[in-house]
Structure 1
Amino acid sequence: MSNFWLEPWDERGRAFERRANTAEMQAYLGGVESDDTLAARHQRYLDLIRDGSAAMFLILVPDEPDPVGSVGYWAKEWLGQTVFELGWKVLPSGQGRGLAAGATVEALGRAAAEKRHRWAHAYPRVDNAASNAVCRKAGFALRDEVDFEYPKGNPIRCNDWRFDLEATGS
């Protein structure tokens, strides 16, 4: 994997979200978003981190002062149980270097160490080859295709990938 480290989400996350708000980066996430939507997400992340129901991180690499990506997990109700949902994003300048998979593996380890939920899930669109590859590389098991709305009102077809947090040995 690449040389990277994770730091807790902070005000740099707001600037990162702006840099990631391009047609290319948002192609599988409903398209480019308004500044108000980005600001609301940033505040939601800070609130969820503060109340302990989520962990969000910025991905940093040597010789680049600004975050090149993000990864995080949050509690979600899924099929009658509470699980962690994982999500990640890496700017084009950081893609193809193993950052998304490496950061996801690290986030899974941190989620497992919390010992709050047995399962972690990720739901990339079925046609998002890169994110589905991250799931495979990070050790998720493909469960099924499922219908989602993301953003709200935008129906999409996703893969349901599941990771057993109790099997990590943490």
Structure 2
Amino acid sequence: METDVRLEPWSDADFWLLRRANEPAMTRHLGGPESDEKLHDRQRRYEALSAREPAAGRMFRVVLEATGESAGSIGFWEREWRGEPVYEAGWGILPEFQGRGLAVAALTRLLSYVRAHGSRDSVHAFPGTDHPASNAVCRRAGFECLGEVDFEYPPGVPHPSLDWRYRVGPPPTVTASG
């Protein structure tokens, strides 16, 4: 199984990937396909997120090292969860690349990025209880399942989900030398 991936920052040239990820097979656990207007808004948000400081979060394109093919997307962003500042992570691997361990490989790379650049000590993911593949990705990447929650996605629509947490450790401390 090929699992060697690299993460490339999201750019204006990646809108095609959002269109592919908007297909019914990719959105059935996310409330279904979005309108073109919402896709364009998402593209703007992804570009804006990736233009901010690294600790604010990032969106990436998942690229196969061996062939240079784009296999999906992955990212993390800041949020408050139960009164705590955390990161949330999300990903999507295109259907023709699923079942190869690419989501776990990409998530492992993402967690390394968060450890190096992040300012929050944990990353959460909230896959639906009806999404065994994404829950398996969390488990295989070393996340701890904290239990079932009603998570709103899309906003305003509660969905039975599992709260998975990965501790990346405390934010790096800056020491003054002198």
Unpaired runs of 5+ residues, structure 2, are 171-178
Q: What's the TM-score, normalizing by structure 2?
A: 0.88
- List structure 1 runs of 4+ shifted beyond 4 angstroms: none
Structure 1 partner of 2:154: 151
Structure 2 partner of 1:63: 67
* Secondary structure class of the residue paired with 2:89: strand
Structure 1 partner of 2:43: 42
Is this contact kept in 2: 1:45–1:54, CA < 8 A?
A: no
Count of aligned pairs between the two proteins:
166
Deviation at 1:107, TM superposition (A): 0.2
Q: 2:115 aligns with which of 104, 109, 112?
A: 112
Unpaired runs of 5+ residues, structure 1, are none
Deviation at 1:87, TM superposition (A): 0.5
Distance 1:156 1:96 in 2: 25
* Secondary structure class of the residue paired with 1:162: strand
* Secondary structure class of the residue paired with 2:24: coil
Give the AA of the match of 2:67: D
Distance 1:73 1:91 in 2: 18
Deviation at 1:64, TM superposition (A): 5.1
1:75 to 2:51 alignment: no
Structure 2 partner of 1:27: 28
Give the AA of the match of 1:139: G
Is this contact kept in 2: 1:8–1:58, CA < 8 A?
A: yes
Q: What's the TM-score, normalizing by structure 1?
A: 0.92
